[in-house]
Chains A and B, each alone.
Chain A
């Protein structure tokens, strides 16, 4: 089952612009993770934010988490053509039996035009 929705489903921007993607989820979580997928490839982990954290940075990436609204956002600043990919949020459910299992959103397809 899918945990939630990602918004927008597709995003097209010019190089140098910022890209913001949103993710909503349904159940209480232990953490939320963002992954990137280039066409036809596996997923690459970008950033993990724990349920007791509100914001996290990694290079040009900024992730926020609002557990009261069950939502997260990923901001990519100063985008590059090489950022073109699909981006997925995934959650690990709260509770001792999650075993690190991920539940994924539908993904956002980002296209950055040179």
Chain B
């Protein structure tokens, strides 16, 4: 089945540690997106990528980094510079330039601080 896989489902970070969240898609979508969701809030865009080897900052990119070496994969690193990383992280993919198409979401990774 086509879809988006995020791993791990739960992740714990120690102070000063970088952690990486995985996102893989087999929908052959060009565009991929990372969102952060805080309790009772909507989603905010962290980073997005339209094509391989290219990515752009979203609204809240500080303290995060990404890479897009393969079309199928868009990992997100939460660095130690992100002082409030506890949140639910959602990855999505879409057709990008074909804007009248929906995004497809993974089931998220919940990140907490130890």
A residues adjacent to B (C-beta < 8 A): 1-2, 30-31, 33, 35, 40-45, 48, 50, 88, 90, 92, 98-107
A89's closest neighbor in chain B, by CB?
B42
A48's closest neighbor in chain B, by CB?
B102
Contacts of B75 in A (CB 8 A): none
Q: How many A-B residue pairs have CB under 8 A?
A: 76
Q: Cβ of B98 and Cβ of A100 under 8 Å apart?
A: yes
Could you show 29 A-B contacts with beta carbons less than 8 Å apart? A1-B44, A2-B44, A31-B99, A35-B105, A40-B88, A40-B110, A41-B108, A42-B90, A42-B106, A42-B108, A43-B43, A43-B90, A45-B102, A48-B100, A48-B101, A88-B42, A88-B43, A99-B99, A100-B31, A100-B94, A100-B97, A100-B98, A100-B99, A101-B33, A101-B48, A102-B45, A102-B103, A105-B42, A107-B42
Q: How far is the CB of B23 from chain A (nearest CB, A)?
A: 11
Interface residues on B, range: 20 to 34
Contacts of B102 in A (CB 8 A): 33, 45, 48
B residues adjacent to A (C-beta < 8 A): 4, 6, 31, 33, 35, 40-45, 48, 50, 58-59, 88, 90, 92, 94-108, 110
Contacts of B31 in A (CB 8 A): 99-100
A95's closest neighbor in chain B, by CB?
B99
> Knowing A105-B42, A106-B42, A107-B42 touch, does A100 contact B108 (C-beta < 8 A)?
no
A106's closest neighbor in chain B, by CB?
B42
Q: Cβ of B43 and Cβ of A45 under 8 Å apart?
A: no
Contacts of A98 in B (CB 8 A): 99
Contacts of A100 in B (CB 8 A): 31, 94-99, 101, 103
Q: How far is the CB of A8 from chain B (nearest CB, A)?
A: 13
- Complex Cα–Cα for A111 and B95 (A): 33
Q: How far is the CB of A102 from chain B (nearest CB, A)?
A: 6
